[in-house]
Amino acid sequence: MQQPWSLSSSSSSGPHGDILGPDLPDIWTPIATPPPLPPLNQDSSTKLTPTIIDGKSIAEEIRAGISEEVRQMKDAIKKVPGLAVVLVGQRMDSKNYVEYKTKACQEVGIESLLAEFSEDCPEEDIVNAVTELNRDPSVHGILVQLPLPKHMDEERILSAVSVEKDVDGFHPSNVGNLAVRGREPLFVPCAAKACIELLIRSGVELRGSNVAVVGRSKVVGLPTSLLLQRHHATVSNVHAFTRNPGDITCQADIVISAAGVPNLVRRSWLKRGSIVIDFGTNRVEDTDSELGYCVTGDVCYEEALQVVSAITPVPGGAGPVTIAMLLSNTLESAKRTYGFN
């Protein structure tokens, strides 16, 4: 007889039956032009002057440190760190991000290598290329630019990257070790590291603070939630299925947004005096701009400025620091390989 608690084995899901829950995509409902808000009734004596967290110059500082370490390594052992980027398909945004990454490598003296594949190439070719890069001693970091074309098995390709070269920190073993206190992942995802770096450099106390993370992606939301917990923050993670996410975010001391939806985070979602880190990099049509688009975050920036105590702008906030962390992971990997300290 079927026990009420026994797992159904008839479902199409794997060996765990339904226990892992269905894999549903996070689809947020975007608001193109947010309706205007009534003016805030705060008198000028209580008016906040928010700090604009300058990610661009923080990233420059971090790169300067990395540059120096790369030079020392080169002088001492005649080796430099190497990063391989795997790019599949022709997405313009991906091509741009990869370009930022290779340019940043060049700036600090990290060797970079680009492996490009067409959208319709066999998945096998990518797995084989990754396997070769795993064996290449001049490569210390391998990054598979996401998203991959829909028809490809992302998990298979990401799992092919050697744990020792997984500078994105997306390998199951690195994600798993990040999730459990006391375990040490070889690499922590760049965005999560960038988030902590931005907050600590801004003098924010994480221990015991209430943080709301908007989004649960592998690249930003999930690893950032995990890393914040390791810093003893109380983390609430809201996502596309959360009812009234604003009711949760408006209680947070710190809001981290990584939903990929312009204007998602409104003034009403934010507590007065809160701190906002915006990982959104959304391209929105802008006929006034030469490119025909402009880049905006997930947060209604002008609205947020009326209530927050500190915020990262987009561009020039979390993005450049995330890229600096990729360089840092690549350097750490090379140092580990050569036992160089």
List Cβ neighbours of 237 (8 Å cut-off, separation of 6 or more).
212, 213, 216, 221, 222, 225
The residues binding ligand GUE (CB under 6 A) are 96-97, 100, 143-146, 168, 190, 219, 281, 295, 314-316, 319-320, 322-323
Nearer to ligand GUE, 73 or 143 (CB): 143
Nearer to ligand GUE, 73 or 196 (CB): 196
Alpha-carbon gap, residue 16 to 120, rounded angstroms: 33
Q: What size, in residues, is the chain? A: 341
Nearer to ligand GUE, 111 or 168 (CB): 168
Task: Based on the residue annotation, tell me whether 286 is a catalytic residue of this protein.
Answer: no
Burial class (CB within 10 angstroms; exposed 0-12, middle 13-18, buried 19+) of 315: middle
Return the closest-CA partner of residue 266 out of 209, 305, 223.
305
Residue 146 DSSP class: S
DSSP string of 243-288, one letter each residue: SSHHHHHTT-SEEEE-S--TT-B-GGGS-TT-EEEE---EEEE-TT
Burial class (CB within 10 angstroms; exposed 0-12, middle 13-18, buried 19+) of 274: buried
Prior bond of 315 cis (ω within 30°) = yes
Nearer to ligand GUE, 254 or 323 (CB): 323
Alpha-carbon gap, residue 50 to 304, rounded angstroms: 9
Q: Which of 168, 253, 278, 298 is catalytic?
A: 168
Nearer to ligand GUE, 149 or 315 (CB): 315
Minimal CB distance residue for ligand GUE: 319
Give the tokens for residue 295: 């880049």
Minimum distance from CB of 316 to ligand GUE (Å)?
5
Alpha-carbon gap, residue 320 to 101, rounded angstroms: 10
Task: Based on the residue annotation, tell me whether 101 is a catalytic residue of this protein.
Answer: yes
Contact 304, 268 (CB under 8 A): no
Nearer to ligand GUE, 246 or 297 (CB): 297
Q: Which of 54, 145, 166, 278 is catalytic?
A: 145
Task: Based on the residue annotation, tell me whether 288 is a catalytic residue of this protein.
Answer: no
Residues with catalytic annotation? 101, 145, 168
